[in-house]
Structure 1
């Protein structure tokens, strides 16, 4: 039997940032923008040491956010989202939270189905360009879906790219 659990919430963002944090990490997410993968940049999500740094189009305000935890690859939602990227993530605890900037709010995520080990993160984004243009909004302009499932470590990849924001974040700085 396969299992999938989804949680949805309004996510407060500052500086266009949110963090997926492993329960073994004492910090509330990385302090600085993590480096993108040098050979396979995916731009809007970066992973290092049990943390994932997630970038949003909106600089400050509220975005729509869903996290789906599954025991198998749930498949990308290519119809509902403009941009979709994937990257591997290692969880030491088998439990993660989604933290807002500065730890102002921590969102509980369902327990990871395979416990500690390697997972795949698939980050979907919609309306990043419109949100970046607005810069600040308490009304939801951009929305995101983060899928998490057990999978051995593999190269990051861009599944679908349509926004200028994804192109910007994938380009070398």
Structure 2
């Protein structure tokens, strides 16, 4: 049974948010070292996460699992990456804002699955979203203990995700 540690709104700017344990904040520079372009996991203890919406509010759920959760077909985009916290404290951080969620996750090796829905629609309706306070794109982060393994693109359907996956591995 998953343990939901956050389920709510998240303000994004520049189409990004972060997960950090300790004081390190990730940057997009690590994208060249990966296969996927949505969940950059190259900074120790941190994740750089890309959204379809440039600026506004998205929906986010963060879950901890004891075992790998089954894949859910409703998600249009699914990527996975290795994650190793550098401290037991874990925070979900909007760009240049205070944490929306702080929790504890033991230091060890984890797999993180990042799922997305509505990335292209959010990009196309951004001005409407900002004016009306709509939430169009939604995201799910799932963590479970697992040995390190390379990141991977599990499912890709949107133009937004295709662009970012195309940026991965460049340079």
Shorter-chain-normalised TM-score: which range? 0.7 to 0.9
1: distance between equivalents of 2:18 and 2:81?
14
2: distance between equivalents of 1:95 and 1:120?
17
Aligned length: 162
Q: Which runs of 4+ in 1 moved over 3 A?
A: none
Superposed displacement of residue 110, structure 1 = 4.0
Partner of 2:89: 95
**Is the contact made by 1:94 and 1:117 (CA closer than 8 Å) also made in structure 2?**
no
Gap regions ≥5 residues in structure 1? none
2: distance between equivalents of 1:96 and 1:110?
5
Gap regions ≥5 residues in structure 2? none
Partner of 1:5: 3
**Is the contact made by 1:43 and 1:170 (CA closer than 8 Å) also made in structure 2?**
yes
2: distance between equivalents of 1:97 and 1:76?
25
Partner of 2:156: 161
The structure whose residues are more often strand, as a share, is: 1
**Is the contact made by 1:86 and 1:158 (CA closer than 8 Å) also made in structure 2?**
yes
**Is the contact made by 1:16 and 1:59 (CA closer than 8 Å) also made in structure 2?**
yes
**Is the contact made by 1:37 and 1:156 (CA closer than 8 Å) also made in structure 2?**
no
Deviation sequence 1:69-103 (CA, Å, 0-9, x none): 112112222x221000000011122331100110x
**Is the contact made by 1:69 and 1:110 (CA closer than 8 Å) also made in structure 2?**
no
TM-score if structure 2 supplies the norm length?
0.88
